[in-house]
């Protein structure tokens, strides 16, 4: 069974005009997208700027309500998931934006950014230091990077 199924997903945004903001049309941000993701697979969504990648991701994450179509997580309709089930799903799924400036909080140091992610995923406070240093080792960065802010890194380091 796929972990994620998206069937005929559509997301249209209304176009309004006039004093009374009457709907005069719609922007078809996502139009009839279908795919499945098996457990252990990674999905990358690529395309031109403005083609609906972020809107698709936001629909999957539950941040936008689809105009039509189905999104199922482990066979269960996303619309039927409880708040706690949605939070558990969001903790396992991540959207990575192509612009690192949108992905990293510019007011937090690397240490703060990493520690926050580990806390969100329920890591014990006693292991935070080891967890953070483990991530740095995986990406070949020195411990002095923990005190830096995102803008202090080169494009490749971000």
Letter string b/e over residues 31-61, b meaning 16 or more CB atoms within 10 A of that residue's CB:
eebeeeeeeeeeeeeeeeeeebbbbbbbbbb
Q: Which two tokens stand for residue 105?
A: 């909080």
Q: Structural domain tally of the chain?
A: 2
Instruction: Give the pLDDT score at 37.
Output: 93
Residues 58 and 119 both lie in one domain: no
Residues 73 and 40 both lie in one domain: yes
Helices in 24-127 by DSSP H: which ranges? Answer: 53-60, 83-92, 100-103, 110-120
SS3 84: helix
Residues 60 and 128 both lie in one domain: no
Instruction: Give the pLDDT score at 158.
Output: 63
Residues 23 and 85 both lie in one domain: yes
- Give the CA dihedral 58, 60, 66, 70, nearest 10 degrees: 170
Residues 17 and 67 both lie in one domain: yes
- 113, with CB counted inside 10 A (0-12, 13-18, 19+), is middle
* Run means of pLDDT, 10 residues per run, the chain, 158 residues: 94 91 92 94 85 91 91 86 79 68 79 87 88 88 89 74
- Residue among 129, 93, 102, 100 at smallest CA distance from 114: 129
Residues 46 and 85 both lie in one domain: yes
For residue 109, the enclosing domain spans: 102-152
Residues 43 and 81 both lie in one domain: yes
Residue 91 sits in a domain whose CATH number is 3.40.50.300
From 72, 95, 118, give the residue that closes a domain. Answer: 95
Residues 13 and 82 both lie in one domain: yes
Residue at 29 is within a domain: yes
From 69, 95, 121, give the residue that closes a domain. Answer: 95
Residue at 158 is within a domain: no
Residue at 157 is within a domain: no
Instruction: Give the pLDDT score at 36.
Output: 96
Residues 71 and 108 both lie in one domain: no
- DSSP code of 130? H
Residue at 82 is within a domain: yes
- Find how far residue 94's CA is from the centre of its chain: 4
Q: Tokens 């926050």 map to which residue?
A: 116
Instruction: Give the pLDDT score at 32.
Output: 97
Residues 24 and 84 both lie in one domain: yes
């Amino acid at each position: 069974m796929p972990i994620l199924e998206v069937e005929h997903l559509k997301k249209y945004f209304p176009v309004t005009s006039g004093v009374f903001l009457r709907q005069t049309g719609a922007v078809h941000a996502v139009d009839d997208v279908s795919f499945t993701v098996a457990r252990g697979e990674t999905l990358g969504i690529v395309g031109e700027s403005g083609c609906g990648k972020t809107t698709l991701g936001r629909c999957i994450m539950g941040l936008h309500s689809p105009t039509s179509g189905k999104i199922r997580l482990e066979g269960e309709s996303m619309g039927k998931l409880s708040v706690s089930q949605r939070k558990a799903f969001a903790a396992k799924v991540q959207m990575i934006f192509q612009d690192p400036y949108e992905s990293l909080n510019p007011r937090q140091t690397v240490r703060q950014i990493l520690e926050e992610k580990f806390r969100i995923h329920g890591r014990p406070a006693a292991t935070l230091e080891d967890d953070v240093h483990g991530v740095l080792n995986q990406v070949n960065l020195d411990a002095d990077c923990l005190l830096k802010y995102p803008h202090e890194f080169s494009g490749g380091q971000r």
